Chain A
């Protein structure tokens, strides 16, 4: 208990070392099935602007155990954003989604969309971005060799290598862009239920009701309202406060 107070006092100045201490505390609380305390410790790490895919995953687990489905979904999605291939996250998210009220049909994807998504999910946005920059640097080097050498053979090979490296670089940057574009507009509904309106005003017609934990795509923001799109293609306006961006 004393430790908690001390930690709370210094919570604003947590660094990586302290984060590890907090993390261990949280893990032991979780093991003792004291999910509330575990969540508090995990959240402290997050509040100190330190985060990782694993931390988000643990927070999500705590929320799930506390039956806070919407928060659980939000944090699993956050974890996935950092590490799109984590199997634990994917498994748990799938399980949580079974408990959601809204069952939305996915709009069927074409095969190239599936391929692109599969490739995209191999790395996180930042990994793709770094990879892209690295390869573009390599491209630069080879291209310069191509430009300024006088030896015919070297010129030819440098050109070939530089062009293939350019392709890889452009693809990586594209995946980073694509991944960013698809995830930056995603949000999770946090309120138990939300009325989706036809227009951004309270007087407008109610179109349908959504429930907590449903993932939506945000299209447009107007005053305190956000235009959303569901995975099955339905569109409407909800209050921006009803959701949280991933």
Chain B
């Protein structure tokens, strides 16, 4: 009986406020449509003209602002004004803040990421132990496409608190590796050959100059360290090309890259098992 009365009163309330509810729903729908239309036209007009790391945050700001505005406007038919919302928002803020600490943390971190810009859309980065290209910096999270093609979503708070290595903020990057040559090799000749190769390679910058020097004397080889600076965008193909072609170059010059080897020196041979033959008379017979 009580349930039926309750339902009836809800029904009466709905009927009495049907126009207000319809108006609120219509405002939200119009708001959503306007947000999508504005976003779409932004993409067509300015989206292609300005860099994505500037455009994306602006797009998100405009899109979500329109949605929030539509939400606020939809409450007007019920007599809720912006000032009353702000008062209510004060109390609600405390409750929501406690309930959604991590989400708010992500939003605030997202704002700091946009302002400070330690990473931008399209940048190759390493965040913690995730390495890849930034696909998007969203309100709550940052999307990274790893080099093997996975999409990783990292909460903005985690990104903001992590050590971020941005590989694209400098104009040049260094390739650094070691190549071992045989102990019988003329080291001077090896260094000269490698230097000539680096000088002829378009990937290696003239300045800062490449460096070739003996790094250490290993167990099986003299280890020569090779350092070459390349334009940041060409670092990866340059590294592959250098490592592949250097071996060929050295081989053409008769310089041997040795296998790991172990020389064993034996001073004398002592018999391990001594077999003494006794009472062999029967066998001989």
A binds B: no
Q: Contact residues of B with A, CB < 8 Å? A: none
